[in-house]
Amino acid sequence: APKIQFNTTVYDFGSTSSVQQLAGKFIISNTGSGTLEIKKPQPSCGCTVPALKTDKLAPGESTELTFTLNVGTPRGHLEKHITVPSNDPTQPSVNLTLKADIVPTFDVTPANISLGNIHQGLITNITLQIKRLDGKPLGLTKVEAGTKNVRPKLGTAEGSNQVVQLTVEIEADGAPRPLNDTVRVFGADTNAPAITVPINGRIVGDVTASPEAQFWGIADAENWPGGHPEQSARKFTLVCTKPGTSFEIKKATTELTDVTVEVKPLE
């Protein structure tokens, strides 16, 4: 019978930083007396890509299982797996482990920008601090955002070129809507950002609605709402976002033919 054997089942990269991708290989040998047939390796996630040089080994032959692991921008312990099936009757599948401890190159404070509600027409300025942790110069070359109303700017490096201020100006222009964007800071590699800062919030007008959406799950339309007429009505609370002012809503309409809308004052 065939017998599958690996030079190791754990590939430990140790501590690493400033990488977008890791790569390595396992050596597979057939130490049995029959032909070893290796089936397609199955990674535990899409970020791991294994490649088998050959899928059949005669007794005494060996081959390579290479892999690439897309790291992205995590920090801390990283662990992924590759399952290798074969026709070895004693080991029909072998689990391979890939490990690494990702040490961040930069520390960003705060790590994300949470704005909450921003009233239309207002401009908000947020200041972040970027610090390089490995003792090397910052080496940051440019900064950009995805939308024109988010305008980031890098300051001048301080403290042996290891600390810099990042100022982000956010303008609440346009219609009320969710605001989701990212600020991307680049180093020498201008194709992949060295730092990504997510931004989330909401641009609001003079009036907000709570909740912002309603959903009716109607399984049987002909018998709706059955013995529960209260389920056919939902309420929104309209709130003025300008303290000390008042507002009046004279009419509310809907494009849905089976829905009627009514506005009532709330004491």
Whole-number average pLDDT of the chain:
90
Q: Contact at 8 Å (CB) between 44 and 38?
A: no
CA separation, residue 62 to residues 4, 5, 59, 98, 136 (Å): 10, 9, 9, 21, 43
Report how far residue 112's alpha carbon sits from residue 259's, in angstroms, rounded to the nearest whole number: 40
pLDDT digits 0-9 by tens, 181-218: 999 999 887 888 888 999 999 998 888 888 888 888 88
Tell me which residue of 84, 88, 86, 85 sits closest to 33, measured CA to CA. 88
The predicted pLDDT at position 102 comes to 86
Coil vs helix vs strand at 258: coil
**Over residues 57-85, mean pLDDT:** 90
Average pLDDT over residues 7-31: 91
**Would the pTM of this model clear 0.85, i.e. be above it?**
no
Distance between CA atoms of residues 73 and 204, nearest Å: 32
Q: What is the C-alpha separation between 150 and 173, in angstroms, rounded?
A: 10
| DSSP notation for 18-78 | S-SEEEEEEEEEE-SSS-EEB---EESSTTEEEEES-SEE-TT-EEEEEEEEE--S--EEE
Angle at 233 between CA 230 and CA 238, to 5 degrees: 130
Phi, psi of 225 (to 5 degrees): -95, 15
**By mean pLDDT, which of 10-14, 71-75, 166-170, 233-237 is the weakest?**
71-75
74 confidence band (pLDDT: 50, 70, 90): low
d(CA 12, CA 70): 15
pLDDT in tens, 97-156: 999 988 888 889 999 999 998 988 899 999 999 998 888 888 899 999 999 999 999 998
User: What are the pLDDT digits (tens) for 249-260?
Assistant: 888 889 988 899
What is the structure's pLDDT at 160?
63
Q: Render 189-245 in DSSP notation, one character per residue.
A: -TTS-SEEEEEEEEEE-SEEEESS------S-GGGTTTT-GGGG----EEEESSTT-
